[in-house]
Amino acid sequence: MISFTSDYTEGAHPEILKRLQDTNFCQEPGYGEDSFSEDARSLIREALGRPEASVFFLVGGTQTNSTVIDAVIPHYGAVIAAETGHIAVHESGAVELSGHKVIILPSHEGKMAAGDLQSYLETFYADAAWPHMAHPDMVYISFPTEYGTIYSKAELEAIRKVCKEYKLKLFIDGARLGYGLESPSADVTLKDIASLCDVFYIGGTKVGALCGEAVVFPAGDAPEHFFTIVKQHGALLAKGRLLGLQFQALFTGGLYFEISRHAIEMAALLKKVFERRGIPFYIDSPTNQQFPILTKEQMDALDGKVLYEIWGKLPDGRFITRFCTSWCTAPRQIEELDSLL
Amino acid sequence: MISFTSDYTEGAHPEILKRLQDTNFCQEPGYGEDSFSEDARSLIREALGRPEASVFFLVGGTQTNSTVIDAVIPHYGAVIAAETGHIAVHESGAVELSGHKVIILPSHEGKMAAGDLQSYLETFYADAAWPHMAHPDMVYISFPTEYGTIYSKAELEAIRKVCKEYKLKLFIDGARLGYGLESPSADVTLKDIASLCDVFYIGGTKVGALCGEAVVFPAGDAPEHFFTIVKQHGALLAKGRLLGLQFQALFTGGLYFEISRHAIEMAALLKKVFERRGIPFYIDSPTNQQFPILTKEQMDALDGKVLYEIWGKLPDGRFITRFCTSWCTAPRQIEELDSLL
Amino acid sequence: MISFTSDYTEGAHPEILKRLQDTNFCQEPGYGEDSFSEDARSLIREALGRPEASVFFLVGGTQTNSTVIDAVIPHYGAVIAAETGHIAVHESGAVELSGHKVIILPSHEGKMAAGDLQSYLETFYADAAWPHMAHPDMVYISFPTEYGTIYSKAELEAIRKVCKEYKLKLFIDGARLGYGLESPSADVTLKDIASLCDVFYIGGTKVGALCGEAVVFPAGDAPEHFFTIVKQHGALLAKGRLLGLQFQALFTGGLYFEISRHAIEMAALLKKVFERRGIPFYIDSPTNQQFPILTKEQMDALDGKVLYEIWGKLPDGRFITRFCTSWCTAPRQIEELDSLL
Amino acid sequence: MISFTSDYTEGAHPEILKRLQDTNFCQEPGYGEDSFSEDARSLIREALGRPEASVFFLVGGTQTNSTVIDAVIPHYGAVIAAETGHIAVHESGAVELSGHKVIILPSHEGKMAAGDLQSYLETFYADAAWPHMAHPDMVYISFPTEYGTIYSKAELEAIRKVCKEYKLKLFIDGARLGYGLESPSADVTLKDIASLCDVFYIGGTKVGALCGEAVVFPAGDAPEHFFTIVKQHGALLAKGRLLGLQFQALFTGGLYFEISRHAIEMAALLKKVFERRGIPFYIDSPTNQQFPILTKEQMDALDGKVLYEIWGKLPDGRFITRFCTSWCTAPRQIEELDSLL
């Protein structure tokens, strides 16, 4: 059985396991004050070209989203997301648990349009009743999006401009950041991401780590008492070394980018498997998530041999599916899929 | 430099690393639906002698405390803890973040007394204004406590009795459960713990795991939609396998108990190091945390060579310190301490 | 200057002021245990034909919505509303403050369609990832809606049916309940409302009271410790008598219905003022809120003499406006408007 | 039957009812933008000698406490109170509902000691683990306290000094402010109160109003979007005029102070009734709450004729009781009590 259901079906990149092994008996302080975390923070600052950046390691994506949002905006603040955004759909109301409303805007293949944002905010402030409404203080976008699409530099700049005009913070969910940056369609780099937002994170869980997300405040302006906030959100790992050493591994010798690139190459192969058969895609994704539209017959052919996700059913009876590649996908897995179809 | 600062200064028990290595490329579903987690749940149910128990794996202690409390009691409910309880002191207000008041009772060397609890509740309901007060719905205790002490079976039964009388849930924080159960002073077993409370957890982070706490509802009555609640609290690990395989390792062949016992044996050695010199203890702890009272001279002797925590200063200038042993403490570390003092 | 901006521009019905005066020096207990509140609860139970109903008096609408929602559904629960629903738009995130997500469905002239609800829930449970999503536990609708429209009995029954099928509570915001029930278009009575939902409230603030909303659990199944929950939400009035005596006045001799009817009659007159001039309406509202579409010239004619709300601007330059009548609107105010236009 | 159970057993001062009557048909905007509220704000600013002060009207005490605390400190912030403070005991966890921990210090006849505060904060910051603890950002005190006692100017200055040193906001709950200021023991004025804290409120509910508390930010530095925060907390009254006109009445011609003085004079009479009989007091209160210790026989004498609160039972079988006077207490009520004893 081969699984393309997600990019977190395996353990971790071997380099991470090796480092776990090598450092196992080093005694280190907890809560991110270990030497591995310290080193990982330096490596990330270096990769960003920003010695002033604040870097923190949290465990998972939903946790990071709710903690960062709650830390950065006032308690009464609302966060604006595309209606397909992870915080709007798949976090069981984690953002609301801390008291923040998620305001949704239309999704354009997973992306928020700067024009929609501008228009929402214009209408908001034009309404005399706005003080009776949840106050928008942040924009949340994902790069790449939940549909595998990526924002162009121009799109990010346009959103950033609106945010500045209306004094909203811009937060980029980078749970799959590597897969976005290494897409041949991407015209932004990690440094651009850091320049274009107030806070973002570099996803580890889906890009080769056992767990871990590196939160970055590029300007070094982490909220006061962020450590305490992280703890309050249950997001502070006692053995912070586990997070530190993983990001240390991923940001040594460009491993993070290299394995992201691999996933993108595998996605290109995967894409061809479907294209060759004239199988259409629900969305034209340039990253590691692919959304082929399969017939019942095609699905039957894979039954019991290949796993993937079903995202919806079309009126004509075909299914929208999701196939993910990852840092770990092997060419032979795609060949096997090819032979089965 | 040797560190006795905590029981989470090293990585993980080698058996865990081995298992990580061996299973690394197995493809498994996320969110605790992997085969390792399934197996670990069975092993724990077996160790409890309770096939009906519900078992969930969360990442860390504070997270587990706030998630379980929020899941088990109504939103308006308050939780009663000893004033030294972890949720009362060292969780940055995590329980309050979900809206729950922590009501504190006196601490008797870290423990809550059933009599104090009874008396609080009698007084509460005798007060005609009780509907204006936060409603007590749960009792939180730690086993062992934050001061290394442990409840006797009789003490637990007495607390349980009061809980039943006043319809409060009893929740046992077992972040260091193994170290409590394996103490020669303990007169309760894991099965007893399961019989004496509504929910508890088996701590992994401090007992040989990289991270992970196993939440157990002994009667199999986990709150409805507990999975969703865990997710909402940012406590659901994508690669649940990481938690599953660790508890699988710890509950295979009694490893959890064996390594806990080792820590207790090391604590006995450590104790003797101090006792031999007439160094008194702040609290007589039968578990892996020891609280010797050191003079400035004694501390100077260790300076730069041994790490430990300072918990307070006595009026006479001496310091209350904490030395922890763990699954990983080596006899030679204690010998070195001995030679330094 | 005449104001049609809202239905709360004046003080209270004279009968209420009289009762305030008459009872001013009676000594009564606080927090709703006064004899006026007791009597008002009886009068409301009688009007409902439900001696078993639980009735509580709260101060205002937003407060009532957030308190009731938080009391009735679990902490992790989400509430479904039309996208124009008061809780979705005009409550500054009050529902989210207690941790609950507001899920929005399309609005059909302010109303939720049972079909949309059914379809949302079918899709929700068909999605294998639903445990990762906020769990829907309640439907919130307003009667009449924020656009002055009202649900027919058949529409309410259809929504109720879906709620029962998917185990959702149905909550009716009756901030303007009287104006809905007394509309000639209404085919439901107060008793019907009570039969068709799990909890609703009878709005006082907008129907002749200084403040006050009467929350009704028709089946007498108020959540346990509802008093404490109300207090926790800051919604418990010390001088509960102020609420009690107002509802006592409103439910003596059918005053609530009589003054609601008056507002509806005034709305009919108002409607004619616009219709006579061929002024169209944005929505065909059968209640006390009317939404004429005015030209700049028409608005100029009213400038400085008549107040009303502006709800939006049409592409052709005309404005959607809102004119409210109330228990207090006098025919001569409408005549004056007529003469000005 | 005469009731001394609280200072909110009657309606409102006749001047308020008169004003309600006189203004009933004036059309005014809602939400505190009415002319009465505007005028009341001016009157209060004048009484404070602070034209720059921001003034807001909320409905009740618990609501005001939780709204102000949540508005002024960050979401993760904790508030320090005496263990007898209203927010610590009698608000059903309202402060915690918004996520804030209430840290308690010893109560000295209802008061917090600056020394205890200083010592708590010194210990807090001396503890290396403080980032793991709830972060103290505010001190909450009541003037007068829940036990009727009042702080001297020197005591307030001492607390203020500690607050400044550790950057905590000082919030004074003035639910019974008038009764404190008009006590002959008081050495502070309203202007002093305004100078000695960051935010306080002038209680209306217990001092002659039907409801209402006037929140004052003396320096004019109300938190940004405070209106929205008030709305989010369900504390924004639609007919804000009800609050405005009451404070207008209370701050015209010094009525607030005059009726407070009356209550204090009545308390002096009441005190004598008990003293004359050698009945001791639990606390020596210089304000309108008195705490005589009664025997069973004395209580029997009052049974069915006089109401008061029972606060506790002493080991010797006597009871601590509370008798309140108010703006409305008549000398003949005290005479009647006298004759009954």
Of A98, A64, A102, nearest to A85 by C-alpha is: A102
**Buried (b) or exposed (e) across C31-67, using 16+ Cβ within 10 A?**
bbebebbebbbebbbebbebeebbbbbbbbbbbbbbb
Judge: C100–A101 Cβ closer than 8 Å, yes or no.
Answer: no
**Look-up of token digits 């944005």:** C282
Q: Does C224 touch chain B (CB under 8 A)?
A: yes
pLDDT tens figures, A124-147:
999 999 999 999 999 999 999 999
Same domain, C269 and C156: no
Is D227 in the same domain as D325? no
Does D231 contact C at CB distance below 8 Å? yes
Q: Are strands B135-142 and B293-294 parallel, antiparallel or unpaired?
A: unpaired
- Chain D's closest residue to C33, CA to CA, is D9
So what's the pLDDT on residue D299? 97
Domain count, chain B: 2
Contact C46, C39 (CB under 8 A): no
The beta-carbon neighbor of B133 closest among D90, D100, D128 is D90
By the 8 A CB rule, do C296 and C317 touch?
yes
Q: Looking up tokens 């767990």, which residue turns up? A: A211
pLDDT classification of C224: cutoffs 50, 70, 90: very high
Confidence of residue B166 (pLDDT cuts 50, 70, 90): very high
Q: What is the pLDDT of residue B150?
A: 98
Contacts of A273 by beta carbon, 8 Å cutoff, 6+ apart: A334, A337, A338, A341
Q: In terms of residues, how long is chain D?
A: 341
Distance CA D340, CA D306 (A): 9
Residues of B in Cβ contact (< 8 Å) with C229: 75-76
Residues D213 and D315 in one domain: no
* pLDDT for the residue numbered A34: 98
Q: Same domain, yes or no, for B122 and B267? A: no
Query: What distance in Å separates the CA atoms of residue C168 and residue C79, rounded to the nearest whole number?
Result: 9
| B286 DSSP assignment | -
Put simply, whether B30 touches C (Cβ < 8 Å) is: no
Domain extent for C302 = 2-7+256-340
Find the closest chain C residue to A75 by CA distance.
C97
CATH number of the CATH domain containing B88: 3.40.640.10
Cβ of residue A154 closer than 8 Å to a chain B Cβ: no
Q: Does B144 sit behind a cis peptide bond, omega within 30 degrees of 0 on the bond before it?
A: yes
Average pLDDT over residues A32-46: 98
DSSP class of C120: H
B107 with B168, same domain: the answer is: yes
| B2 contacts A10? CB cut-off 8 A | no
| Token pair recorded at residue A266 | 């595998």
Torsion angles phi and psi, residue C143, rounded to 5: -135, 110
- Which ranges of chain B does DSSP label H, i.e. alpha helix? 14-23, 35-48, 61-72, 86-89, 94-97, 114-126, 153-165, 177-181, 190-196, 226-232, 241-250, 255-275, 296-302, 331-340
Query: How many angstroms separate the CA atoms of B266 and D149, rounded?
Result: 55
Q: What is the mean pLDDT of chain A?
A: 97
Q: Are residues B29 and B65 in the same domain?
A: yes
CB contact under 8 A, A133 and C90: yes
Q: By the CB < 8 Å criterion, does D161 face chain A?
A: no
What pLDDT, on the 0 to 100 scale, is given for residue D96? 98
Q: Please measure the distance between the N-terminal and C-terminal CA atoms of chain A and give it in whole angstroms.
A: 14
Backbone angles phi, psi at C56, to 5 degrees: -130, 145
Inform me whether the C-beta atom of residue D8 falls under 8 Å from chain C C-beta atoms: yes
pLDDT value at position C114?
Answer: 98
Among A84, A23, A32, A24, which residue's Cα sits nearest to residue A55? A32
Sheet containing B135-142, strands listed edge to edge, beginning at the edge strand earlier in sequence: B54-58, B213-217, B199-203, B169-173, B135-142, B77-82, B102-105
Tell whether D250 and D277 lie within a shared domain.
no
Secondary structure element (H or E) that encloses residue B136, with its range: strand B135-142
Pick from D254, D270, D290: which residue ends a domain?
A: D254
Indicate if C111 and C213 belong to the same structural domain: yes
Rounded to whole angstroms, the Cα distance separating A176 from A155 reads: 18
CB < 8 Å to C63, chain D? 234-235
Kindly state the average pLDDT of the residues C10-36: 98
- What is the predicted pLDDT for the residue at A100? 98
Triad A174, A178, A183: Cα angle to 5° = 115
Cβ pair D227:A76 closer than 8 A: no
Q: In Å, how far are A72, A112, A307, B142, C103 from A139, measured between CA atoms?
A: 11, 10, 34, 41, 19
- Nearest chain A CA: its distance from C162 CA (Å): 22
Does the CB of C75 have a partner CB in chain B at under 8 Å? yes
Positive or negative torsion for Cα B51, B56, B61, B65: negative
Is the confidence metric ipTM above 0.95 for this complex?
yes
A333 and A263 Cβ atoms separated by less than 8 Å: no
Please list every residue in chain B whose beta carbon sits closer than 8 Å to the beta carbon of residue A305: none
Residues in chain C within 8 Å Cβ distance of D25:
10-11, 328
**B131: chain C residues, CB-CB within 8 Å:** 225, 227-228, 231
Place of tokens 């409303």: A101
Nearest Cβ partner for D90 among B90, B101, B132: B132
Query: For residue B71, what pLDDT band results from cuts at 50, 70 and 90?
Result: very high
| Beta-carbon separation of B99 and D101 below 8 A | no
Does A228 contact chain D (CB < 8 Å)? Answer: yes
A contacts of D134 (beta carbons < 8 Å)? 228, 232
Instruction: Give yes or no: residues B309 and B190 share one domain.
Output: no
Q: Is residue C59 less than 8 Å (CB to CB) from chain D?
A: yes
Q: Specify the pTM.
A: 0.97
A289: confidence class by pLDDT, cuts 50, 70, 90: very high
Burial B235-250 (b: 16+ CB within 10 A, else e): bbbbbbbbbbbbbbbb
CATH of the domain at C284: 3.90.1150.10
Note down pLDDT in tens along chain D; length 341 residues. 899 999 999 999 999 999 999 999 999 999 999 999 999 999 999 999 999 999 999 999 999 999 999 999 999 999 999 999 999 999 999 999 999 999 999 999 999 999 999 999 999 999 999 999 999 999 999 999 999 999 999 999 999 999 999 999 999 999 999 999 999 999 999 999 999 999 999 999 999 999 999 999 999 999 999 999 999 999 999 999 999 999 999 999 999 999 999 999 999 999 999 999 999 999 999 999 999 999 999 999 999 999 999 999 999 999 999 999 999 999 999 999 999 98
The verdict on A199 and A85 lying in the same domain is yes
Contact B315/D at CB under 8 A:
no
**Is the minimum CB–CB distance between B332 and chain A shorter than 8 Å?**
no
Q: Which chains touch A (3 or more CB pairs under 8 A)?
A: B, C, D
> Is the Cβ pair D11, C20 closer than 8 Å?
yes
D238-267 exposure pattern, b = at least 16 Cβ within 10 A, e = fewer: bbbbbbbbbbbbbbeeebbbebbbbbbbbb
Tokens of B163: 């809980």
Q: Do C225 and B132 touch (CB under 8 A)?
A: no
Give the pair of three-digit tokens for residue B10: 């090293």
Check residue A299 and give its pLDDT: 97
**Average pLDDT along chain B:** 97
What's the alpha-carbon Rg for chain C, to the nearest Å? 20
For residue C97, list chain A residues with Cβ-Cβ distance below 8 A. 76, 99
Structure tokens at D67: 């709204």
Q: Which residues of C touch A128 (CB under 8 A)?
A: 309-310
Per-residue pLDDT, A37:
98
CB atoms under 10 Å from CB of D154, counted, come to 11
Residues of chain B contacting residue C224, judged by C-beta atoms under 8 Å apart? 74
- Map residue C155 onto helix, strand or coil: helix
* Closest Cα in chain B, distance from residue C135 (Å): 8
Residues B52 and B161 in one domain: yes
**For C252-274, what is each residue's pLDDT tens digit?**
999 999 999 999 999 999 999 99
Q: Chain B: nearest CA to A334, how far in angstroms?
A: 15
Domain end among C254, C270, C300: C254
- CA of C307, closest CA in chain A: separation in Å? 14
Kindly report, residue by residue over A239-285, the tens digit of the pLDDT: 999 999 999 999 999 999 999 999 999 999 999 999 999 999 999 99
A254, A277, A299 - which closes a domain? A254
Q: B79 and B33: one domain?
A: yes
Q: Which residue from D89, D98, D134 is facing B133, i.e. has the nearest CB? A: D89
Contact B228 C75 (CB under 8 A): no
**How far B25 CA lies from chain A's nearest CA (Å)?**
5
CB contact (8 A) between residue A11 and residue B239:
yes
Q: Does the beta-carbon distance from A94 to B232 stay under 8 Å? A: yes
B66 touches chain A (CB under 8 A): yes
Cβ-based contacts of A75 with chain D (< 8 Å): 70, 74-75, 98-99, 229
* Predicted pLDDT of residue B35: 98
CB-based contact, B88 to chain A, within 8 Å:
no
